[in-house]
Amino acid sequence: MRALAQLGASVLVPALLFGDAAQAQARPGKPRVEEPRPTACRRHAAMCCLPDAEPCGRPGPARALLLSLGAAAGAGAAGILFALGDRLANGDPATLLVGGGAVAGVGALLGIVAGRVLGDGPALEDRVRRETIGFGLVGSGTSVLGERSPPLGALRFGPTLWLDARSRVRLVGEIAGVLGAERHVDPRPQVADASVSGAGSSPTALTRRVLGFSLGLDFAVGLPYPVLRRSARLGRAELRYRPEVQFRREWLALGDSGVRIVEHTMLLPLLVGARWHISPRQRFTFYVGPRFDVVSYSALDGTKLARGKPNIAPLYGEAWYDLDIPLSEHPRRDGAQRKAKTSGMLTVGYVHSRFGGRGFNVGPVIGFLGPIHAEWTVRVRPRGSKTAAQIGTGVIVGNGVAITGTVGAVLPDLRTRKGASR
């Protein structure tokens, strides 16, 4: 009888205290039953660690924190603008906070929707990055009769060298130019040509040709995770450093006068930033740094330029939110193997610079707010291939809307011995 009582206690007591899992442990030869996820995780999966991602990450709190930071940046910028009024000075950070905070807020909201619909992980094996070599077009067009606005073409490149498993350097640059000559007219009716041969036509006010390039080195170093105890489970982070130079030469002809050459060089020697991995498929990146401009010009029909000195210009900044979307994650209905791996990336961003002339003019911040970017890019890699094709399209909003398109090839990255395992 005593033996039966001990056997009953060994089975009933663990069952009452711990449920089926304890019973499975008490029964020899029976497989262990996994414990169900906590009720909070079943109801709010984003508040817990992702099941298929290492290390632990909680995208729900991370997105909530990013949304709060975006709102705080917008509120801080509004306070600065109201306090300063029209006393804006070069390098005023308020307008940079407006654009960066807007990208953070919009990106966090997009991430919430994508996390609900598509899931937050795991990370894509072959996600979209900068193409190794490609070609891009930016076309804005014009609705004014008699004007001509050719597209801007750019040869882009971005080879990457991995230094170790968490550090890499990328050479980024492009050679760009307007594919033709821009023509702007004077639309005022009092200057229109009323002759029979040119009835209703407007005279040419400006003709412009543009050629430019940019070149920079983009360094990225992954930080240990977590950096601080309070940052645990909020996503990995990287430090960024990208010294860059941008150059632009224009040939301008005002009406029937001669041609004047104008050069504009932008130096960014201390452009630093960081990338926050909100989830394995979502990232927020920003850059900020001082900017130095050099402006040179020639006399009418002259070739010799009067070189200017470097001047401190308004702060330069960028903010980007990237969202990876798998396009070939699920198997085919017929069970056959897919011939290629396909992935997409949705990007929204703000560039705090009007180097290309695009931007917003609102109230007292005329000339300070830069353009907004939105892009959709797809990468297609044939199965077993070391190269991939990448194609994208997007819009740039600022002084109108410009449509962009890119196509390029992705070649294998270069690696040092330490980075060979990546």
What would the pLDDT profile of 316-352 be if each residue is shown by its tens digit? 999 999 999 999 877 777 777 888 999 999 999 999 9
Q: φ and ψ at 403, to 5 degrees?
A: -95, 135
Q: In this structure, which amino acid lies at residue 160?
A: T
Q: How many CB atoms lie within 10 A of CB 43?
A: 9
Sorted by sequence, the CB contacts under 8 Å of residue 12 that are 6+ apart come out as none
Average of pLDDT values for 356-379?
Answer: 84
User: Would you say residue 196 has pLDDT above 50?
Assistant: no
pLDDT band of 34, cuts 50, 70, 90: very low
User: Would you say residue 27 has pLDDT above 50?
Assistant: no
CA angle 369, 373, 374 (to 5 degrees): 150
Q: In this structure, which amino acid lies at residue 368?
A: F
Q: Is residue 321 within 8 Å of 110, Cβ to Cβ? A: yes
Q: Is residue 411 within 8 Å of 371, Cβ to Cβ? A: no
Sorted by sequence, the CB contacts under 8 Å of residue 203 that are 6+ apart come out as 185, 186, 191, 192, 193, 255
**CA 167 to CA 199: how far, in whole Å?**
64
**DSSP states along 247-316:** EEEEEEEETTS-EEEEEEEEEETT-EEEEEEEETTEEEEEEEEEEEEEEEEE-TT---EEPPPPEEEEEE
Q: How many CB atoms lie within 10 A of CB 277?
A: 22
Which helix (DSSP H) or strand (DSSP E) does residue 18 occupy?
helix 2-18
Residue 110 C-beta-side C-alpha neighbours within 13 Å: 22
- Residue-level pLDDT at 172: 96
- Residue-level pLDDT at 60: 87
- Residue-level pLDDT at 130: 94
User: Would you say residue 39 has pLDDT above 80?
Assistant: no
- Residue-level pLDDT at 21: 36
Q: Is residue 99 within 8 Å of 319, Cβ to Cβ? A: yes
Which helix (DSSP H) or strand (DSSP E) does residue 71 occupy?
helix 59-84
Average of pLDDT values for 205-233?
Answer: 86
Q: Is residue 322 within 8 Å of 277, Cβ to Cβ? A: no
Q: pTM here? A: 0.82
What is the β-pairing status of strands 414-415 and 160-164? parallel
**CA 314 to CA 368: how far, in whole Å?**
8
User: What residues does 312 pair with on adjacent strands?
Assistant: 292
User: Would you say residue 36 has pLDDT above 60?
Assistant: no
What sign does the dihedral 320-325-327-328 (CA atoms) show?
positive
User: Would you say residue 195 has pLDDT above 80?
Assistant: no
Q: How confident is the model over 261-291, as pLDDT tens digits?
A: 999 999 999 999 999 999 889 999 999 999 9
Q: How many CB atoms lie within 10 A of CB 232?
A: 14
Sorted by sequence, the CB contacts under 8 Å of residue 4 that are 6+ apart come out as none
Rg of the chain's alpha carbons, rounded to an integer?
A: 28
User: Would you say residue 1 has pLDDT above 70?
Assistant: no
- The residue assigned the tokens 């056997």 is 7
- Residue-level pLDDT at 364: 62
Of 225, 237, 231, 246, residue with least CA distance to 289: 246
Q: How many CB atoms lie within 10 A of CB 84?
A: 13
- Residue-level pLDDT at 267: 96
Mean residue pLDDT across the chain: 81
Q: Is residue 344 within 8 Å of 377, Cβ to Cβ? A: yes
pLDDT band of 304, cuts 50, 70, 90: confident
- Residue-level pLDDT at 251: 92
Q: Is residue 179 within 8 Å of 153, Cβ to Cβ? A: yes
Domains of the chain: 127-415 (2.40.128)
